[in-house]
Structure 1
Amino acid sequence: MKILRLGSRKSELALAQTRLVMDAVGRAHPEYRLELVPIATRGDVDMKPFSETSDAFGLKGLFTRELEEALLDGRIDVAVHSLKDLPAAQDERLPLLACFRRGDPRDALALPAGVSAMNGAVIGCSSARRRLQALDLFAGAEVRPVRGNVGTRLRKLDEGQFSALILAAAGLARLGLSARVSRYFSVDEIVPAPGQGILACQGRAGDKNEDWLDAIFDPDAADCARAERAFSAALGGGCASPVGACAQLRGGEMKLTGFFADEHKGFKIRASLTGRREEARMLGETLAEKILKEAR
């Protein structure tokens, strides 16, 4: 029997997401024995890098490096990531093999358990992108960084440390916590992180994966990822950078909405472009160029 070892972060959400991929492969290819390999990443065990960065709302790569090292040294065959955690610049030795079907890309507002209306004005979130856009929606609110996995963040919310949280809708849904959502933000209200809701499967260059990739490859997710990551890369996007992008498909047409901000220069820019989905990468680069021209 063939063995396929899938690496995942140890968080409850990451494990749940990796099991979605494993279930899809297992149903399509029963000839494989699938093994889940949980791996602790630096971002899971050490919050110090966040306090040392100039922006307390995040850093890119802290949740992926150890998984990539496990790929390179052969401990796992595939790494399953939340695509939004992956830096725009990829190691050529570790290509993205496939994008799994996308969950809800939107951000959502969560309130304390048993509360139906926002009481107070302290909002917790994990990125500059969310913070800057939330300040436009909630006049006079204070937005503070919140760390930990989804369960930890919700516990802090229920303990009264925050009036509300902004979280990824897909993550809440995959944990069976959609009931905690008080409000879904439209893409025009809060532009999501590039790749939000998409699971990315990363492998080693030269490995033969064709016999199981068909079980997880989703062309819609792949095209959206291509546009959003091209946009982010053109802007030098990262988890600590206030960059958002969301591609929406309608048949052969793609609408890409982007967000970019610079607090020091005092601007926040939202813009969108529509084009053919087969030109996804070019659409992302063109939208980034348009925004950069407006920013100058």
Structure 2
Amino acid sequence: MKTIKLGSRDSKLAVIQAEMVRAAVPVPCELVTMKTTGDMILDRTLDQIGGKGLFVKELDRALAAGEVDFTVHSLKDMPMEQPDGLPIVAYSKRADVRDALVLQAGLQELDLSKPIGCASARRRIQLKRLFPEADIQPVRGNVQTRLRKLDEGQYGALVLAAAGLHRLGLEGRIHRYFSPDEILPAAGQAIVAVQGREGSDLSCLSAFADAEARDCALAERSFTRTLDGGCSSPVAAYAKLENDHLILHGMYVSEDESIVRFGQCEGDRSQAVALGIQLAQQLKQAR
């Protein structure tokens, strides 16, 4: 029986997510980890160095070259356009979609004399609505690096994805959760994606792939793509299903960030991509 090679970033969270895939695949799997450009450049924000596509470039190269059979990613870290011949082939069941507030170890109250650290313009803009008096500053690095910077006193709090904290066993660090009404998540947040080569046999992924997460992700990514929003752009989208009825929420931000609009649309799940386009155009063209 052929051993399948799974490509992953070498961070602890990325490896845990790749192990989720390996556990669901009924054939032998070998994990191949690598450091990406996005992992190595930590002194600048993502929009200054080319966006989160830098987290997948090396993995895409290995996949295209046949060095690995599939690659595993946090869907929210993936560019909205996939390279030719390297489609997303499976989506995990969605975990907790919310963002979470994390305080310095041992503290029980938010200290606004120090900045709140977050890694995206999406969070920064929405945090300013919740905490107008707060200083919101960028923070880079993997989850453990960010927590170290917090506990050293560089920040008064962090905002991180709850799903990642749970997967790392760090849910005890969460001070409070933000509902999607408070902070709308990134497109694809809390979903693990598997990328493959066009024409590959996908039967081994059937136990991992989740159709509900797929349809929600298609709507969210369609919305973001229509607004030309890369992974580091201040765009947010969150879809949920009620039976076969899909409800999509989105946030549009103008280029100079002077306009922030929220809206929603809904329809049959089979129209997920069209609903994303519809809501994006509706918010962009609103007066």
TM bin (shorter chain): over 0.9
User: Could you tell me how far apart the structure 1 residues matched to 2:257 and 2:44 are?
Assistant: 25
Would you say how many aligned residue pairs link Structure 1 and Structure 2?
A: 286
Q: Give TM-score scaled by structure 2 length.
A: 0.96
Q: Given residue 30 of structure 2, which amino acid in structure 1 is its aligned partner?
A: E
**The 10-residue stretch of structure 1 (41-50 or 99-108) with the greater mean CA deviation from structure 2:** 41-50
Q: Give TM-score scaled by structure 1 length.
A: 0.93
User: Could you tell me how far apart the structure 2 residues matched to 1:264 and 1:49 are?
Assistant: 20
Does 1:172 pair with 2:162? Answer: no
Q: 1:103 aligns with which of 87, 95, 100?
A: 95
Q: Alpha-carbon deviation of 1:170?
A: 0.5
Q: Give aligned-pair identity as a percent.
A: 49
Q: Alpha-carbon deviation of 1:265?
A: 5.5
Q: Alpha-carbon deviation of 1:220?
A: 0.8
- Pairs within 5 Å for 1:211-250: 212-250=204-242
Question: Are the aligned partners of 2:45 and 2:140 in contact in 1 as well (CA < 8 Å)?
Answer: no
Q: Alpha-carbon deviation of 1:48?
A: 5.3
Question: Are the aligned partners of 2:8 and 2:72 in contact in 1 as well (CA < 8 Å)?
Answer: yes
Q: 1:192 aligns with which of 185, 189, 197?
A: 185
Q: Given residue 93 of structure 1, which amino acid in structure 2 is its aligned partner?
A: G
Deviations 1:56-114 (A, max 9, x none): xx823010010000001111000001111111111121011111111111111111111
Does 1:18 pair with 2:10? Answer: no
- Pairs within 5 Å for 1:55-74: 59-74=51-66
Deviations 1:228-282 (A, max 9, x none): 0100110001122100000112212221110121252611111111222221111
User: Could you tell me how far apart the structure 1 residues matched to 2:46 and 2:213 are?
Assistant: 33
Q: Alpha-carbon deviation of 1:52?
A: 7.8
Q: Given residue 171 of structure 2, which amino acid in structure 1 is its aligned partner?
A: S
Spell out structure 1 runs of 4+ moving beyond 6 A: none
Report the aligned-residue RMSD: 1.6
Q: Which residue of 1 aligns with 2:39?
A: 44
Does 1:7 pair with 2:2? Answer: no
User: Could you tell me how far apart the structure 2 residues matched to 1:245 and 1:2 are?
Assistant: 39
Question: Are the aligned partners of 2:45 and 2:138 in contact in 1 as well (CA < 8 Å)?
Answer: no
Check 1:237–1:265 CA distance in 2 against 1; reply closer, same or farther (3 A cut).
closer
Unpaired segments ≥5 residues, structure 1 = none
